[in-house]
Structure formats: C-alpha cells, structure tokens
Amino acid sequence: MRTNSGKRYDEDVLAGDWRRPRKGQVPTVPAEHGLVLESADEGFCGAVVTWDRSTVTLEDRKGRRRVFDLAPAAFLVDGAPVTVVRPAAAPATGRPRSASGSIAVRDLRSRVARESRIYVEGVHDAELVERVWGHDLRVEGVVVEYLEGVDHLPEVVEEFGPGPERRLGVLVDHLVPGSKESRIAERAASPHVLVVGHPFVDVWAAVKPSAVGIASWPEVPRGVPWKEGVLDALGWRMEPGDAWRRILDSVRTYADLEPELLGRVEELIDFVTVPQPAGD
C-alpha cells in the first residue's frame, strides 16, 4: 500500500463540484459557420449561423434559431463540453475592406456627385445605408436622399425627371405583394427608375437581432405602432430616437444586416452606377 508521500492520493478527487470539468480541461473551439453545438443547459442542438462579441446563434433542423451567450463550457460537441469563442481575426492582407466588404480606397476624395440618386424612405434608412455603404457611395459619387414616406414617391419621380443618364433608385420598407407600398412602386417603375424593397415593417428589423443583443425582433399586434410596440416588448425604456442610436451603434459591417436588405441596396448601387448599353 502506498502512502500519501507517494503522491498518488495527494488530491481529494471528490472535493468540490466533481461533476463540472475542471478549469483548463475544457477545450476551446472557435465559432464557425455550420459547427454543430448543443446547449449544455437547455439541450438545444443546432448549427452555428452567426456570432458576435458575446453571443452565438444556432439554427436547428426545423429552422428554429436561438441566441446563446459565449460562456465557459456552455456547449457540447459530440457530448463533450467545450468553450466556444469568437474566431481569431484574419491577418491583414494590406487591402483594407470597407463596412460593405468592398476594397477600401485609401486617401479617398469624394467624387463629384452623379445626377443619378438613391432615395430611401426615412432618416433611419439613410443613416443605416451610410453606415455600411457610405464609403462605396462616395467612391461612386452617389447621393442618398429620403422620401419621408413612400406616399411621396410619385411626386418625387415626376420632379426628379429620370432619364438614361439620370437614374433613380428607390428603397422601400415593407415591399410585399398586395401592399400599398407595392402598388405605389408599380406605378413609379420605369426603365430609368428601379424600386426595390425589403419585407420588414421597419428598417430596424433589417439589423440582425444578434447584433443588437436580442433573441429576435418581437411580434407587434395589429393596431399598435411598430416602434412603440417593439420598445415595450423589449422593455427598453427610452424614446425611439435613442433606441435607434443603440441599434445603429451595433452595426459594424454588412454582416450585421439581414440578406434581404443587403441584396437590395447593392442592386440599387449597381443600377445607378453601371452605364446603360448604347441606344437605351
């Protein structure tokens, strides 16, 4: 029989919470798209679809999404506990990227503004477009203005006087079939006017919930103003303008926005900057 001097039993193996892995024994796994994780506490299993500074979003086989904190030993991989962390930043390539993902132009001097324009519905839409695509728009010399509501679109188009070298691109909120917005857009469209839109009731919802630090954008009952209903459901005791600053400050790059908005803005920039074929 060996004594304690033999070091075999120097530590009490039952001391402390023996059910939890000891510090240093839980491997660290960087988040990556498609990595399958199981929540250690709730048993929710899904693939990683996105992450931010402090959370990761999982999607299960039924398309349901959940947001979890990046806490130590919060997940299981093949039944074993792991600590999920943000992946290391990619090494600099010497070609910096803008917030939209395009190659940033060094020592940029804004180009003389084109006659073509992009219109969005309101101030919040314009600020979000500027946050992500501002660099690209200055490179191309494209000015963004706002309609103050889609109801003003027909008169804006008439006053603008679009033509082959004077195109008008318009981004509309909640552009879904059968809506008032869709009927107005159909009347305004022409070879020199492109009206596109996203399905969200308000541009706030085009920001990914994970970027804002919430699980999802709440459903607002009919008859309740959308912004006020969202603030009430989230428990944000602040004015809509202050809430928007909080949301906008959470947007760093295009990755913080939903694809339904990204594609439409890129489409508009292409429309007002790509030369039309001769004879158009």
Least confident of 29-43, 95-109, 136-150: 95-109
For the segment 17-75, what is each residue's pLDDT rounded down to a tens digit? Answer: 434 445 457 899 998 888 889 999 888 998 888 887 788 888 887 778 888 888 888 89
User: Which domains are assigned to the chain?
Assistant: 18-85 (2.30.30), 117-273 (no CATH)
DSSP at 47: E
pTM: 0.63
| Residue 8 confidence (pLDDT) above 60 | no
Contact 126, 162 (CB under 8 A): no
Q: What is the pLDDT of residue 181?
A: 86
Higher pLDDT, 49 or 4: 49
Percent of the chain with pLDDT over 70: 82
How many residues can be counted in the chain? 280
Q: What is the pLDDT of residue 107?
A: 57
Distance CA 214, CA 219 (A): 13
